Amino acid sequence: MNLPTNPRVLIVLEHPAQHFSESFRLAARSSKMDSSVLYWVDDESGRIDPDFGMHISWDVDLRSGYKWRKVEGSSFVKRTKSFRKAIRDCAPDVVICFGWGTAVARLTIAWCALTRTPLLFYGDTTWQHSSRPGGRVRSIARSLVLRFLFRIAAGALSTGTFNREFYILHGVHPSRIIDGVCPVDVDTYSAARNTGKSSGDSSDGIIIGFAGKLIQRKGVADLLRALAIVKENLRWHAKIIGDGPERDRLEKLSVELGIVERVSFVGFRNTSEMPHELASCDIVVVPSLLDMRVLVVAEAMAAGAVVVASSNTAVWGRGDLIEDGVTGFVYRSGDAGHLAEVLRELIVNPARRATIQEAGAKLALGQGPEALVAGLERAVSVICGE
């Protein structure tokens, strides 16, 4: 398929997201494509996030510096008509679709199939978590649907090792999968590293952090249990950054475990506050019981923390963010004892900690907006035959 020298690329996603905005601004300046973004909803005044349990309005610019438009209408029928008009007006040569399960993703897939417009998928689903409740029949049906969707697509932009393997598992040829990233603002987090605390200079000793939604799936209870195991004769303090329905239960658990004096629940922090928060940590734990690409991993690495992630995240694997014992650590998900062993080693071994911090920070530099845009440009060129 021969495309124009500067193909029109339309990126379709549900709503503005703080970690993509800078990538879209950078893509708007690309000499290899003419990009624009279509949102299903705008969320200009923020939205209620049920996991945080509060109204969220991000304190960074989400919409300036690139071409974008949103779908209009108060009913699904009106919104569908608005979507059709918007995508026709854009007249894309290539469409990048974020995911496949939302209403706008399904409309996009249908439109591309009907118009024979090259479609590229972008998402973070992995083979680890590709099964869903509902039994074998439902799992087989879902697999067949995904195989059909991937067959009609031109290819996919992967976000990591397990995501790439997920596409291959469902029938996408490896040559049609272009490596990409889930971008983070590595420049800001790296700058915060240079102004944050030096390792071990706090009166509390080593600072161990968690950042995310306080919901059961994030596994914070396992982190607290691990901290209780290492509470004797070790100088550390933990801070839990975030909010959500589990906060009261977790605060009570810290009392029951006898570590309440050494754990601070600091609450929700907005985008502009996170670089400083993570740079103040020596270690950041990602104890999720089930998670895909956890953005805080790359953010914390860039900010100079050692990241310890559960095996049920999708940030490790060959060539991915965390190489166990080299750029971070992976522990068995749900095993507080194993997590405690890793934390103990890092607390008592500052040289080991410093080596991992340096390696992780260096690797994280490749996870910025430039990497996503480079992936988009490669995908358009390689798969769509520029």
Q: Are residues 226 and 117 in the same domain?
A: no
pLDDT digits over 78-115, tens only?
999 999 999 999 999 999 999 888 999 999 999 999 99
Instruction: Let me know whether 162 and 199 are in one domain.
Output: no
Count of structural domains within the chain? 2
Please report whether residue 12 resides in a domain.
yes
pLDDT-derived band at 198 (thresholds 50, 70, 90) equals: very low
Are 125 and 151 contained in the same domain?
yes
The SS3 call for residue 209 is: strand
* 3 found inside a domain: no
Single-letter code of the amino acid located at 372: L
Both 259 and 352 in one domain: the answer is: yes
220 with 351, same domain: the answer is: yes
The rounded mean pLDDT for the chain is: 89
Same domain, residue pair 71 and 196? no
Residue 239 domain-assigned?
yes
Whether 87 and 98 map to the same domain: the answer is yes
Enumerate the H helices of 198-313 as residue ranges. Answer: 220-229, 247-256, 274-279, 295-302
CATH at 351: 3.40.50.2000
Evaluate if residue 197 carries a pLDDT over 90: no
Enumerate residues 6+ apart whose C-beta is below 8 A from 363: 301, 321, 327
Residue 148: band (very low, low, confident or very high) from pLDDT cuts 50, 70, 90: confident
Q: What tens digit of pLDDT does each residue of 269-304 get?
A: 998 999 999 999 999 999 999 888 889 999 999 999
Question: Is 297 inside a domain boundary?
Answer: yes
Say what the pLDDT of residue 381 is: 86
Which residue range forms the structural domain that includes residue 174?
Answer: 8-183+368-383
Q: Do 206 and 343 fall within a single domain?
A: yes
Residues 287, 264: one domain? yes
Same domain, yes or no: 177 and 268 = no
Verify that 223 and 249 share a domain, yes or no. yes
Determine, yes or no, domain membership for 21: yes
| Mutual angle of helices 103-115 and 76-90, in 10-degree steps | 50
Q: pLDDT of 220-252, one tens digit each?
A: 999 999 999 999 877 899 999 999 999 999 999
pLDDT band at 6 (very low <50, low <70, confident <90, very high): confident
Q: What is d(CA 68, CA 10) in angstroms, rounded to the nearest whole number? A: 9
Tokens of 255: 């009392």
Residue 343: inside a domain: yes
The pLDDT, as a whole number, for residue 294 is 87
Does 2 fall in a domain? no
179 and 241 belong to one structural domain: no
Taking each continuous run of H as one helix and of E as one strand, the counts in the chain are 13, 15
Is residue 1 assigned to a domain?
A: no
